[in-house]
Structure 1
Amino acid sequence: MKSIKLIVEDRPGVMADIADLLAQKQINIQKIEGETVDSSAVLELVVDRPDDAMRLLHQLGLHAVSDDLITIRIADQPGALARVTRELKDAKLSLRGISTLQRQDGFCFVALSTDNDAVARKLLQDVLI
């Protein structure tokens, strides 16, 4: 799974414009998060065709970066996320992004990216999806 991060001018309709562009190319948005910082909007998208979306966004002159995501399943209880992030900290890995995807049947599904995903995958192999 990959996420796409965009920094665009914060203006009315910016999300509608991006969603329309992706829809025109039949690219489905699976997840989206956004926030404003000063006069910019910072958006994170997970789409069904990330490589096509990146090409399209770059063709339109938008600054977009893609990041591989590691998906894990942990117990939905206090301390579970602390254990995972502590393992990454102890290995001196930096988190570049983290997001809760879903809670279901006593488990929490989390997507994250680090500065060294190969090492992170090895450390977290017992909870990888």
Structure 2
Amino acid sequence: MKELHVIAANQPGVLAGISDALYAENVNIESIVAESMGDNGVIRLLTRDAVKARKALEGLGYKVMDSDILVLGLADKPGELARISHLLGENGVNIENVYLLSKEQNTTFLAMRVSDYNHARKLLVREVRD
């Protein structure tokens, strides 16, 4: 899955415009994180149709960056994040960001951007969900 990064003005209506543009292209947002940083805002969103999403956002004049994201399914119990964090760190893979996507029954789903996507994917083959 791709994580799209958009830097936008921190002002009312920006997120509405972005979500309208994605809706117009029938792009579903799987997850979104938005935060303000002074006069700007950073919006990170996950979608299964990054090409259409990028086109829609660039059509609004935004510069869009993307990165590959691991979607992981972990047992919903203490220590699971520690376990995979140690495994990645001990193998030289840096975790650049991580956030909760959802919890379903006994599984916690996380999105994770790492410094070496392919290596992390091999290390976490049992946990990766596409």
TM-score by length of 1: 0.90
The one-letter code matched in structure 2 to 1:113 is R
Matching of residues 39-54 of structure 1 within 5 Å: 39-54=39-54
Equivalent position SS for 1:29: coil
Match of 2:13 in 1: 13
Match of 2:123 in 1: 123
For structure 1, list consecutive stretches of 5 or more residues without a partner in the other structure. Answer: none
Runs of 4+ in 1 over 6 A off after TM superposition: none
Matched, 1:114 2:119: no
> 55-64 vs 38-47, which deviates more?
55-64
The alignment covers a number of residue pairs equal to 129
Equivalent position SS for 1:118: helix
Match of 1:4 in 2: 4
Residues 28-79 of structure 1 show CA distances to partners (whole Å, capped at 9, x for unaligned) of 2222111111111111112242111112323433121111111111111111
Q: Distance in 1 between matches of 2:9 and 2:36?
A: 9
Equivalent position SS for 2:30: strand
Match of 2:103 in 1: 103
Matched, 1:71 2:71: yes
TM-score by length of 2: 0.90
Q: Distance in 1 between matches of 2:128 and 2:31?
A: 20
Q: Distance in 2 between matches of 1:28 and 1:43?
A: 15
Matched, 1:38 2:32: no
Task: Compute the displacement of 1:126 (Å).
Answer: 2.2
Match of 1:62 in 2: 62
Identity of aligned residues (%): 29
Q: Distance in 2 between matches of 1:58 and 1:96?
A: 25
The one-letter code matched in structure 2 to 1:104 is E
Match of 1:90 in 2: 90
Q: Distance in 2 between matches of 1:102 and 1:79?
A: 17
Q: Distance in 1 between matches of 2:24 and 2:125?
A: 38
